[in-house]
Structure 1
């Protein structure tokens, strides 16, 4: 798979969607910084307006990088290699490994299982990844003492997905506190 190319029409639609999403964010950031109402943001000094827009793009850039890392981790959890991710991103395999160092899980030599603890709502769960399959599962005990685990042979593609299911169980079995 190679890096995707956009048509001019797709570029125009993307630009419009990004600007539509950016304008409310830029207005809100400017309003908080200046104390002025959002509807007056565009009537301010042009330098201040331009800097507000630049600041909003910085927020969007940071969020895009975070979401990109999640997408790389998801691809890696499904078995994508750094070579494949690099090809899609237009960089080398080494560049992809440097950009997303945690995206591809490598089993620890001599270990058949990777695990991570989760504490939530007074309960605990263990997230476990069995190698070589790479699927994640969970088992835990709620604050009320109820034990639970992933249903039957259920394996989740990512640690985050297993954590979401374990977290739902722990919330369900929390002890109400005054």
Structure 2
């Protein structure tokens, strides 16, 4: 997924809508803090008013963060991976996993489907090994060298197996 870009007109409309939504919150907060009615807001110290605005943006920020996490969980419930969540947010897969740790459910039942990694002219298969309960990889590099996970410990995720396989394929890329 490519990152979505907004036009200048869309950003301006969004800012206007956010200011319109923020104004009643600021007015209510200022009235509670000062005891002054909204129509006397102009009598308040301008620094206090602007600090109230800043405090209210913090409330908006926390609300957006909560709504964003909900959107990530919804996307994950429909099958989006952390890689896709990260791409949509403009961060890495690992960043998305850290930001929304519960957004993507790991499959619990059955054996996960194998997949392949093709890099540097070689190919490796990533597969789930139920006996040690972990991921493995096996492949052939571009220079013809066969390779596989060393078997000393199962790998914790498909991504970890892909990283080891990718390092092997790079090391034996040939052509050098």
Query: Shorter-chain TM-score: which interval?
Result: 0.5 to 0.7
Aligned equivalents of 1:72 and 1:42: distance in 2? Answer: 41
How many Å apart are 1:87 and its aligned residue? 0.4
How many Å apart are 1:109 and its aligned residue? 5.9
Counterpart of 1:56 in structure 2 is 56
Counterpart of 1:117 in structure 2 is none
**1:102-161 per-position Cα deviation (integer Å, ceiling 9, x unaligned):** 000113467xxxxxxxxxxxxxxxxxxxxxxxxxxxxxxxxxxxxxxxxxxxxxxxxxxx
CA contact (8 A) 1:27 1:39 kept: no
How many Å apart are 1:39 and its aligned residue? 2.4
Aligned equivalents of 1:88 and 1:79: distance in 2? Answer: 14
Structure 1 ranges of 4+ moved more than 4 A: none
Counterpart of 2:11 in structure 1 is 11
What's the TM-score once normalised by structure 2's chain length?
0.60
Question: Structure 2: which 5+ runs fail to align?
Answer: 111-176
What's the TM-score once normalised by structure 1's chain length?
0.59
Matches within 5 A, 1:79-94: 79-94=79-94
CA 1:42–1:93: 2 relative to 1, 3 Å: farther
Counterpart of 2:96 in structure 1 is 96
Aligned equivalents of 1:46 and 1:53: distance in 2? Answer: 11
Aligned equivalents of 1:14 and 1:102: distance in 2? Answer: 29
Aligned equivalents of 2:43 and 2:24: distance in 1? Answer: 15
CA contact (8 A) 1:83 1:96 kept: yes
Matching of residue 44 in structure 1 with residue 44 in structure 2 = yes
**1:39-58 per-position Cα deviation (integer Å, ceiling 9, x unaligned):** 22243111000001001100
Aligned equivalents of 1:52 and 1:42: distance in 2? Answer: 13
Aligned equivalents of 1:82 and 1:50: distance in 2? Answer: 38
RMSD across aligned C-alpha pairs, in angstroms?
1.3
Q: Secondary structure at the match of 2:101?
A: coil
Aligned equivalents of 2:89 and 2:42: distance in 1? Answer: 36
Q: Secondary structure at the match of 1:91?
A: coil
Q: Which of 1 and 2 has greater Rg? A: 2
Q: Secondary structure at the match of 1:9?
A: helix
Q: Secondary structure at the match of 1:50?
A: helix
Question: Structure 1: which 5+ runs fail to align?
Answer: 111-178
